[in-house]
Amino acid sequence: MSNLILPKNYKAILTLSQTEQAIKSIKDFFQQSLASQLRLRRVTAPLFVTSGLGINDDLNGIERPVTFAIGDMGDARAEIVHSLAKWKRMTLAEYKIERGYGIYTDMNAIRPDETLDNLHSLYVDQWDWEAVMGSEDRNVAYLKSAVDGIYNVLLQTEYMVYEHYPKIRPILPRKITYIHAQQLLDLYPGLSPKERENAVARKYGAVFIIGIGGALSDGKPHDGRAPDYDDWSTVAENGLAGLNGDILLWNPVLECAFEISSMGIRVDSEALMRQLEISGQLHRKELYFHRRLLSGELPQSIGGGIGQSRLCMFLLRKGHIGEIQASIWPEAMRAACREHGMPLI
């Protein structure tokens, strides 16, 4: 409850019935446009994977996956996915996807360690996407081209919402601004990472922060990243490391930076070994996924996740993610939101 934001003078623009219709329209339009923009085909994804193979994502390395025993497999352990970054890369290899093309899927996860607030839920739904690239594409320009494509789809979807619901006027800038996490630290040395994000998102409206996971000049990363999917350690531009980042939008309802996507060029064998060493996790090189990557069985790729509920929340100007998705919330939070005109599903 201490993290709950109750926006001043909040009033939902759409009724509950209109909201449900709008959610479907946004999801249908966005995924079709994204598939066309990035040349992706839809695939079916797992809800859970076998434990101990290194396939599940570690996110910041501290989140506990939801696990269970499989009775008909001698109580072998399985775990609900955190996301599908590594699974998607193996799927690219198995489906023999050509360079310049990729896949996307609906990813549903349970993250029991989330701190529940306006933006964070136990339930996570996102579009996970991954595309094959060449080794010569391992540069910031290629990363930016993918970000520009996704942002173009965001602009198209925002305008579609405006056409259907004229009270929801477009607010996104025509172009997204790029800034490296180190440059952001240099601009706002006295602020915390989240405060820096708020400052830069408020200024530009839409930003992509490059280089998340590696240590900055203050010895700390802007935010945590697992060592075995995004490449955050390669020195890529102007002596700055990182081939990954986050898309942040300025949320006028909550008056804060609003992360809509985390994405990046994935590790090659060299970056994987370097980042495992930096993070003190060299033992992971013996896991199934890591062995396949180090042996050259997996393609070079770029990919990420785009929050479905978050996208709908932003485009429909909702104050709480619970107005978009059904989840579990503390009863005190439900009561406070209800009294404030934000009924949670």
Mind giving me the DSSP string for 52-96? TSS-S--TTTTPPPPEEEEGGGTTEEEEE-S--HHHHHHHHHHTT
202 contacts 171 by C-beta, under 8 angstroms: no
pLDDT at 240 (0 to 100): 96
CA of 324: how far to CAs of 27, 196, 228, 336, in Å? Answer: 12, 27, 32, 17
pLDDT at 1 (0 to 100): 63
Between 56-70, 126-140, 246-260, the lowest mean confidence (pLDDT) is in 56-70
CA of 162: how far to CAs of 129, 155, 263, in Å? Answer: 26, 11, 27
- Looking at the 3D structure of the chain, how many domains does it have? 1
Burial class (CB in 10 A: 0-12, 13-18, 19+), 220: exposed
pLDDT tens, residue by residue, 17-26: 999 999 999 9
- Give the mean pLDDT of the chain: 94
101 contacts 40 by C-beta, under 8 angstroms: yes
Q: Summarize the confidence of residues 28-38 as an average pLDDT.
A: 98
**Which active-site residues does the annotation give?**
57, 111, 126, 246, 259, 262
Q: Summarize the confidence of residues 332-338 as an average pLDDT.
A: 94
Q: Is the pLDDT of residue 61 over 70?
A: no
At 124 the three-state DSSP class reads: strand
Structure tokens at 338: 């209800």
At 302 the three-state DSSP class reads: strand
- Secondary element (H or E) of residue 50: strand 48-50
Q: Is the pLDDT of residue 11 over 60?
A: yes
Q: Summarize the confidence of residues 153-158 as an average pLDDT.
A: 98
Planar angle of CA 179, 182, 187, nearest 5 degrees: 75
pLDDT at 113 (0 to 100): 85
More confident residue, 1 or 95: 95
Does residue 4 sit within a domain?
A: no
pLDDT at 165 (0 to 100): 97
Q: What is the DSSP string of 163-202?
A: HH-TTS-----SS-EEEEHHHHHHH-TTS-HHHHHHHHHH
Does residue 284 sit within a domain?
A: yes
Does residue 3 sit within a domain?
A: no
Does residue 208 sit within a domain?
A: yes
Does residue 345 sit within a domain?
A: no
132 contacts 99 by C-beta, under 8 angstroms: yes
What's the CATH code of the domain at 311? 3.30.930.10
Band the pLDDT of 57: cuts 50, 70, 90. confident
Q: Is the pLDDT of residue 62 over 80?
A: no
- Rounded to the nearest angstrom, the gap between the alpha carbon of residue 113 and the centroid of all alpha carbons in its chain is 17
pLDDT tens, residue by residue, 257-273: 999 999 999 999 999 99
Does residue 122 sit within a domain?
A: yes
pLDDT at 49 (0 to 100): 87
Structure tokens at 147: 């970000």
44: domain range? 16-339
Q: Is the pLDDT of residue 72 over 70?
A: yes
Between 54-58, 141-145, 272-276, 285-289, the lowest mean confidence (pLDDT) is in 54-58
Does residue 266 sit within a domain?
A: yes
Indicate the DSSP class of residue 56. S
pLDDT at 108 (0 to 100): 92
Band the pLDDT of 50: cuts 50, 70, 90. confident
pLDDT tens, residue by residue, 181-230: 999 999 999 999 999 999 999 999 999 999 999 999 999 999 999 999 99
Q: Give the residue ranges of DSSP H helices in 232-315.
A: 269-278, 288-294, 308-315
pLDDT at 268 (0 to 100): 97
Does residue 7 sit within a domain?
A: no
* Calpha distance 268→248 (Å, rounded): 26
